[in-house]
Structure 1
């Protein structure tokens, strides 16, 4: 019987070789084949390729490199300036006052700068703004060198810098749409935003090292920042000018109103911008409190700030790069909610951190959350907006930095009254609450069922006539 059953067993085995794979939902085990392993590797490679897809465009690589170099100088300034202000004033309010000018200019000039970005050459705007910033850095370095620097001059400097940043920020992001195909705009903006996190890890360390250097100091640091910007300005002429958008050549105020109403009439954009505004206003000013936290709580000189906060930049770069491929996928909203809560959690944990050593992983969490939150939010805002509105919509993403300066003044004064760590707890918990509420609303919103350009045409039809009537000169 055993001999007679042997051919049947062999026949059954041969038949099993030719059976189709088990249908989905059936029980059983399937042995992974070489083909499935190859497909898995191809999927991994495709995912990695999707994350860095915009780097396949040569002009984008150059734009990314020049942007990173320029922001290296900016990151050094954001480390050196609070330290200089704290040394001059000796309290958190002095730091907040010195940093306030930056955001005030962003808030009032940013929207108009976005409207101009849509109608002028992007390269020309960037060159002019960076030239002015380089001159500003050189003047601050000279005032420090001759011993005439004061907190009020730092405030004037940041006010001027904020006005320049109001043009460079929207121009750099909107410039991406001029040098990459339309399908890569979201990926390009995400990679550009992630690239800005790399200077956040290196810039603070360089700034602190320059402050310690015996023959450089704060004045030499500002001269080096100016030199870096000069190099990027010369290199910018290798880039194309950047074509202006096809927008009506009317009043800038009218174009600004059109951009604001366009963003307001799209619910998803409205929630994204509100989240960016409120989370940045509550959690963002933590940077103003860090010099006082080091000196008043940990007993460490404030000029060590960059040497302690370097993990923040590492987390920003690594995590920000990881989420670049999430833009435009179904996971984007969920990751955005998680990372905004991570930012608030990190700020709140600073309020219970016992020493500078424990502070290292906490600032890594802050950098990771802030980078991923800002990268995803900004990329989704631009991806979901029409190309001709990119400059104006991008300018709206910089308004939170202006509001952050106003709230930073308040948080700085409260920190001088109740202590740095208590204020950090309040800031972090507020950011978490805002993230949970607005993030849940965004998760429950449906994806628009109409094309973006159709929505734009409807907005323009409803808006252009009343705005034109208001702007028309009265007889």
Structure 2
């Protein structure tokens, strides 16, 4: 019965009516979900800018530490709840779980917006609401990641993951700039209220999906599912390597919520409009990366390593930017490299994980990616207060450079990876693996 929609989608793609970049949109369920998520992503990025401005300007005197604490509280549940969140995602229908988590996130944003609009907001309240948001997101994120594989066939999973990133960064392209205009005109509370309304788009999309066209993963029952998920990852060196690289990138490099706010206000002395514009400029690179990744059916480790190296160079340049305009321009390659790395890592983990384990593995992946933020964000905030805003960006390239060097040494020794660069040939850069020749033991005498 389910072959009909898949056959129709495949026929449309095969006749050339849809670019390979967008071919997952030929599937009705995914198309409905994609556009619902796009509306919500615009609101999410508006809320991020509004919350940063609320903490940094309205409630404190440009306290980087306070902003770091808020960011840390938002991501702390990823670290604490990951094993249980993954077990819940694999145990319950993901579509129903998403309706619960999206409703909870909308309510948190609504309460925050009302507190600000009526002038009741205090810093401790923002801390509490950030923690509640983090709890809901700890369950929402792995559910959303794993739900993609239920809407599209495996052959299109990498494309759908990349298009999700494109949706997220299209929201980033529009949301921050819109938030800057809204804050300047009506205040931070209105931006938060707009975000709470956009969650309705996702809920509407979820209700309009055709259940018969979904392919739910096997549901996990019984005890021991958490231990089973941890054991699964522990026995997969390929997944552990990807997660290790993502941990360093997420903890030390992906602190844009803090770094852009500090650079805009403390280094360049700009207002909310210019601050919001930085997020939109960065999204140009991120959106380009997502669309390029959507054309790549088989993401590989070399794509991840090269993109992280590009991030290291471009982020270092951003930390040294002499003017606001130069800083804004450097954010384009930063966004391009960061999103390429994250999309590649996400697709690699999903494609290499068994369907019945995907919820638990993706929960662990998100915990490793975002779980370092509760420690990294306050640390970045303290670095900003103690050594200056530029070092909040500079610490990321330093940590990534050391990590990439250690990974290169490890791969060279364990996998016999060889990297060659030839200026006069194409491709210029080649990364290959060769069989390791082991010494033949001498026969016993």
Runs of 4+ in 1 over 6 A off after TM superposition: none
For residues 412-459 of structure 1, give each alpha carbon's deviation from its aligned partner in whole angstroms, at most 9, with x where no partner exists: 112101111133222222123323433675697599xxxxxxxxxxxx
1:160 pairs, out of 132, 143, 162, with 132
Larger mean CA deviation between 300-309 and 404-413 belongs to: 300-309
1:81 corresponds to:
51
Following the alignment from structure 1 to structure 2, what is the Cα–Cα distance between the partners of residues 116 and 248?
9
Match of 1:258 among 210, 220, 228: 228
Structure 1 pair 304–294 and aligned structure 2 pair: CA distance change class (3 A): same
Name the TM-score, length of structure 2 as normaliser.
Answer: 0.84
> Which range is displaced more, 432-441 or 341-350?
432-441
Superposed CA deviations along residues 293-317 of structure 1, whole A, max 9, x for unmatched, are 2222112235531123321111101
**What displacement does 1:286 show?**
4.0
Q: Does 1:210 align with 2:210?
A: no
Unaligned runs of 5+ in 1: 1-44, 448-475
Moved more, 104-113 or 438-447: 438-447
Matched-pair contact (CA < 8 Å) for 1:105–1:166:
yes
Distance 2:312 2:387 in 1: 20
Pairs within 5 Å for 1:1-400? 49-87=19-57, 88-89=59-60, 90-213=62-185, 216-240=186-210, 245-251=217-223, 254-302=224-272, 304-328=274-298, 332-399=300-367, 400=369
For residues 385-419 of structure 1, the C-alpha deviation after alignment (integer angstroms, 9 at most, x for no partner) is 11111111111221121212311101211210111
Change (3 A) 1:439 1:119: farther
Count residues with an aligned counterpart.
398
Deviation of 1:347 after TM superposition, in Å, equals 2.3
Counterparts of 1:55 and 1:234, CA distance in 2:
18
In structure 1, distance between residues paired with 2:334 and 2:323: 16
Cα deviation digits, residues 178-206 of structure 1 (max 9, x gap)? 12222222322222233222111111111
Q: 1:170 to 1:223 in 2, by over 3 A?
A: same
Whether the aligned pair in 2 keeps the contact of 1:110 and 1:163 (CA below 8 Å) is no
Gaps of 5+ in 2: 1-14, 418-445
Q: Deviations over 1:297-341 (max 9, x none)?
A: 112235531123321111101122102222415xx3222112112
Question: 1:371 Cα deviation (Å)?
Answer: 0.8
**Equivalent pair of 1:66/1:232 in contact (CA under 8 Å):** yes
User: What is aligned with 1:37?
Assistant: none
> 1:286–1:347: 8 Å Cα contact kept in structure 2?
no
Contact 1:194 1:371 in 2 (8 A): no
Contact 1:115 1:391 in 2 (8 A): yes
Instruction: Tell me, yes or no, if the aligned pair for 1:194 and 1:375 is still in contact at 8 Å.
Output: no
Judged with a 3 Å threshold, the aligned counterparts in structure 2 of structure 1 residues 317 and 248 are, in CA distance, closer, same or farther, namely closer
The partner residue of 2:391 within 407, 412, 422 is 422
Larger Rg, first or second structure (1 or 2): 1
Aligned equivalents of 1:182 and 1:439: distance in 2? Answer: 31
The Cα shift of 1:359 comes to 1.0
Within the alignment, does 1:412 sit opposite 2:384 as a pair?
A: no
| RMSD, matched Cα | 2.4
Q: 1:308 to 1:285 in 2, by over 3 A?
A: closer
CA distance in 2, matches of 1:316, 1:198: 9
Find the aligned partners of 2:173 and 2:410 in 1 and give their Cα distance.
33
Q: CA offsets, 1:344-380, max 9 Å, x none?
A: 2232222211111101211111111111110000001
TM-score normalised over the length of structure 1: 0.79
